Structures are given as structure tokens and as C-alpha cells.
Amino acid sequence: MNIYRYFQTVVLSALQGLVSSGELPEGLDPARVTVEAPRDVGHGDLATNAAMVLAKAAGKKPRELAELLLPSLLAHPDIANGDIAGPGFINLRLTEDFWRERLKDIIVAGERYGDSDDGHGKRINVEYVSANPTGPMHAGHVRGAVIGDSVANLLAKVGYDVTREYYFNDAGSQVDVLARSTYLRYREALGEEIREIPEGLYPGEYLRDVGRALATRDGAKWLNEPEEAWLAPVRDFSVSYIMRLIGADLDLIGIKHDVFTNERELIDNGTLDKAFEILDDKGLIYIGTLPPPRGKIMEDWEPVPLTLFRSSLFGDSTDRPLKKRDGAWAYIMPDFAYHYDKIRRGFELIINVLGTDHGGYAERMRPAVAAFSDGKATLDVIFNGIVKIYNRGELVKLSKRSGNLITLREMVEQVGADAVRFFMLTRTPESELDFDFAKVTEQSKDNPVFYVQYAHARCRSVLRLAAEQYSSDILGAESLLDAQTGRLDSPEELDLIRRMAAWPAVVSGAAESHEPHKIAFYLYDLAAAFHQLWAKGKDNATLRFLLENDPSLTIARLALVQAVATVIASGLRLIGVDPAEELRS
């Protein structure tokens, strides 16, 4: 149950009642009416801005309108009391029983608590990672991978039909470079001494394995052949080898895509030609000359007639060439074809996760998506900021050219998959992130991963102990649903319940805004509230969860602990982190 949405309908029907009785004019637009949690808990459980938003249209002062609305809200059985505050807020406090009922929602739903049908089964494509097959996954790829995967999980949880997709470019010059680099290692594997990797080829050690594998498969058959003969087979071999490497790397952090699409196939099966044809049929292609880019000095600029796409009709700052002067496809054309393919497959929502260094991508791709789908499909690009790697406070310089890269595998080996995943979500996506190996492995409060996991482990510890001291039946749904939750009446207990009751709304919000970091922050706050409650039992034994002489209160508190464990576990899994039972090392 999304409590804010639920009470929004309560507010709207109260307004409707006032319209029916003639106390308010008809035709009020309720679009801006919101119900939300006040920032300050002292203001109550819920606040609505209805009176302020509708005052003008209703011809009343905000507070006057609030006075009119309040009585019909107070008539609702779940609303305990309310008042009017500030410029016209209506603050509402819900009954404690309403909150306690949510505890039972959680126990009944288990980890499905927070699921919804916001997405109505709409098909949505989330493309992430999409690294070209030139080497293993490295630190620079990890953040987008985690963000994309978590967004996909979120959207699935709120009822979208999600496809997780990986696109790779296996038709450009990059893979030819890969093939030549592999060929060198292949010769090495066959006994030749390779002193230095020539400029422009990939120096990575991992290519030794590829070369060796090729030598094992094909023997010396390419050794004395010209490049024209071996380039294509070596390329194909290398690409599929590297893609297996990447797949294994992603597996380390629990990422598995549903669909892999590659550029070569889009060209070979005619999708690219078809995409161009469609734009042409829509009258969006013409031959023209572009002005030189503004403000940039280009000595070699000369105006040449080119095949252009009228992307400026769709908000682009300029029309874009789709063919080069020699008639070959321009580099964006395969990407266009790929998006045409997504639309053809029936996706209405297309999400791409990219690094901020692809800044201009959205501007170029959005017109294409609009054109191919006749405006029906929308493209959202999530840009994620770079990750700076530190080691005990010192910046680690990374360079692809020198081969000085930190691989995903190294990261996972050093800090663990859980810490990697959680840490990548401790900032808003577009901000830069400092990833310090020392900090991420630290097992303390500064490390949010352990802080949250520890709260879960503490819950499980209590539940295990309860099962030992009483019987395992005490934790069954029957027992917990029968709990006297009315006995949970301390401010800390109710605070915890309120936080958990907000979970479905948090999930919906994070999914809608494509911001998985909100889950990480929520979990941190929930964990903090739990740790606080736990600590109360230190000073005051009557506040502990397990009470020898009060079984009914014990069961009620176990229901609370069970709910906390459930919500934390559910949230952690949503972002791909394992909710560990214990953290003892």
C-alpha cells in the first residue's frame, strides 16, 4: 500500500464532497494536490497542500479553504486528528492502529512488500554496460553497470516488463585493432618473441590468453597469411572470447542481460538500410550543406553536400549527416538503426545508461527515437559521473593506453561484490564518486554497506535466538499475524513502523525517477532507526525484544523485527546486495 497515494484519494474525494454540496465551485483542477510526509515529524504523519493549491480557483484564502476541508478529512477512520498550519497546510496524524496494520502487510507480503503495478506491464528496455569487446570489465564500467541493473530491478518491481540489454559494436575499427592485437599474441603463443606492442594496438596482458586460445584452435594456419585472410576470423574469435570474459566479469556482481545486440547483425540483416528508408519515406532525409560548427576553429572545414537527417525538427540544434561524403554510413547511423530496432520490438520506454563523457548522445538520439516511433516512444538517458579510484587517500591514475587499469575482477576480489554494488549507489547518478579501497573495505559506520547489513544481521540474530528460546513456531506467519501489535507503543517502535510503511512509496519514487540511490539512502536510514531501537534495550532491559516474562509483547516485537529484516533484505536484493545472515568474520 502506497500510503501517500491512498490518502491522496481520500483528500480528493473529500474535495469532491464539498463540490457536490455546493461549498466549492466545480471544475477545480486537482493535478497539483499532493499528499506527502512533512519534513518535520512534529507536523504530523501526512501533509496536503490542497488548500494552498486550490485557493485561487476556489476564490478563497488558503486557510479558509483548509477550514472547510478539514472536517471531512477528520471523518475518515484512519485519521486521528489534524490541524491547519503555516500558509495553509493541512497536517494529519493517522491512528497508531493504522500504522500497526502495515506491519501485518509486510509479514503477509514478505519480500514482495513494495511491489506494485505502476508500470501496467508496459515494455521497457534498459540498456547498460554496452562496453565494446576490447577487454575485460574495468572500474570505469562498474558504476553504469550497477545503476542500470538496479534501475531494471526497480522497474520490474513496480510492474514494468523489463528487458535488460547489452549493445556492442563489432563492426567498427576498434574490433579490427582488437584482431591485430590478438594476432600479435597469437604469434607470440606460437613461439615468436614480441618485444613491444606497437602504438595503436591494445597492450593488455589478457590478450595473451586470447592468442593462446586461438593458437590452440587454429594452430599455425594464419601465421604466413596476409592480413586480409586472417583479420575477419581472428576478429570474430577475439570478439566472442572477450564477450565471454565480460560475461564472466559481470557475473561477479550478479549482472545478467536478457538480450545482446550487436552492430554487425543490424547491418547484415538489413535493419540499418530499413531504418534509413523509413526516415527517407517520412521525408526527413535531404541533401544539404551544414554550416561549420560555431566557435570552433577548423582549418580543414569545407562545405560539402551531404545526406542529412532533419533532426532539428525534433529539437536537435542542427541536422545530422547520416552518410559521409564518400557515401559510407556516418557513425551515428548504426545507433539509429539500433534504436529503430528497439522501437520495432515494441518498447515504449527506452533507457540508456551512459557515462557523462557521452554528453551529446541524448541530443542526437532523441530525435531519431521520436522520428521512428512517431513520438510514441521516449528515451531517457541516465548519465553517471566518473568514478575516481583512490587507495588510502591517494588517487590512482588510470590509463587505457598504458594498460594501467583496475579491473572489475580486482575490485570484487579486494572489497567484495556487495560493497562494490552498494557503494556505487551512495551518490546521485550524475555526481562524481570517489571509490577508496581502504574505506570501502572498512567495517564500520562510515561504510554504509556494513552498517545496513549489520542491522539485518542483528535482526536475524534476534530471530534465531527467539527460535531457540521458544520454538520455531513463534516466527511462523500464524504466530506473527496474531501478535498483539497494539503493545508496540514506544516512539521508537512507531517510528520504525512508519518508516517501513513508506517503503512502497520509496520504491515507486525511485523507480519513476530512475534513481536507485534512493533505495540505498532509505536503507541506511531504516538501519539507523533499528540500531537506535536496539540500543535502547541496552540501557533499559524492558525495551529488549525478547522478554522472558512477557510472551505476548515478545511476539509483537518479533513481528516488528521480522518486518525490519524483510524490508532490509528486500531493499538490498533490489540493488543486488546479499542480505547476509551474519557478519562475523
Residues of span 245-304 touching RNA by CB under 7 A: 290, 293-296, 298, 300, 302-304
Among 317, 391, 542, 552, indicate the residue that binds RNA (CB under 7 A): 317
| Residue number with CB closer to RNA (215 or 488) | 488
Q: Which of residues 150-189 bind RNA (CB under 7 A)?
A: 169, 172-174
Specify the stretch interacting with RNA by CB under 7 A; choose among 102-110, 139-147, 268-276, 437-445.
437-445
| Residue number with CB closer to RNA (249 or 319) | 319
Q: How many CB atoms lie within 10 A of CB 524?
A: 17
Chain centroid to CA 375: 25
CB of 346 to RNA, least distance (A): 28
Instruction: State the Cα–Cα distance between residues 184 and 199, nearest whole angstrom.
Output: 13
| Residue number with CB closer to RNA (45 or 222) | 45
Task: Please report whether residue 49 would count as binding RNA according to CB under 7 A.
Answer: yes
| Residue number with CB closer to RNA (56 or 112) | 56
Task: Please report whether residue 514 would count as binding RNA according to CB under 7 A.
Answer: no
| Residue number with CB closer to RNA (195 or 584) | 584
CB of 468 to RNA, least distance (A): 9
Task: Please report whether residue 221 would count as binding RNA according to CB under 7 A.
Answer: no
Q: Are 489 and 556 in contact (CB under 8 A)?
A: no
b/e burial code for range 104-134 (CB count within 10 A of at least 16 → b) = bbbbeeebebbebebbeeebbbbbbbbbbbb
Task: Please report whether residue 36 would count as binding RNA according to CB under 7 A.
Answer: yes
Among 14, 279, 462, 568, indicate the residue that binds RNA (CB under 7 A): 462
Task: Please report whether residue 458 would count as binding RNA according to CB under 7 A.
Answer: yes
| Residue number with CB closer to RNA (26 or 300) | 300
Task: Please report whether residue 47 would count as binding RNA according to CB under 7 A.
Answer: yes
Q: Which of residues 388-417 bind RNA (CB under 7 A)?
A: none
Half-sphere exposure of 523 (CA within 13 A, CB side): 34
Q: Which of residues 524-553 bind RNA (CB under 7 A)?
A: 524, 528, 531-532, 534-539, 543-546
Q: Which helix (H) or strand (E) holds 250?
A: helix 227-252
The β-bridge relationship of strands 79-85 and 89-94 is: antiparallel
Task: Please report whether residue 73 would count as binding RNA according to CB under 7 A.
Answer: no
CB of 577 to RNA, least distance (A): 14
Specify the stretch interacting with RNA by CB under 7 A; choose among 83-91, 122-130, 147-155, 478-486.
83-91
Q: Are 74 and 447 in contact (CB under 8 A)?
A: no
Q: How far is CA 230 from CA 221, 236, 534, in A?
A: 9, 10, 67
Return contacts of 26-29, CB within 8 angstroms, 24+ apart: 27/57, 28/54, 28/57, 28/58, 29/54, 29/57
Chain centroid to CA 20: 44
Specify the stretch interacting with RNA by CB under 7 A; choose among 112-120, 313-321, 370-378, 398-406.
313-321
Phi, psi dihedrals of residue 35, rounded to the nearest 5°:
-125, 125
Q: Which of 339, 278, 338, 264 is nearest to 309 (CA)?
A: 278
Task: Please report whether residue 217 would count as binding RNA according to CB under 7 A.
Answer: no
| Residue number with CB closer to RNA (215 or 440) | 440
Q: Are 333 and 272 in contact (CB under 8 A)?
A: yes
Specify the stretch interacting with RNA by CB under 7 A; choose among 135-143, 243-251, 317-325, 571-579.
317-325
Q: How far is CA 438 from CA 23, 397, 425, in A?
A: 64, 16, 18
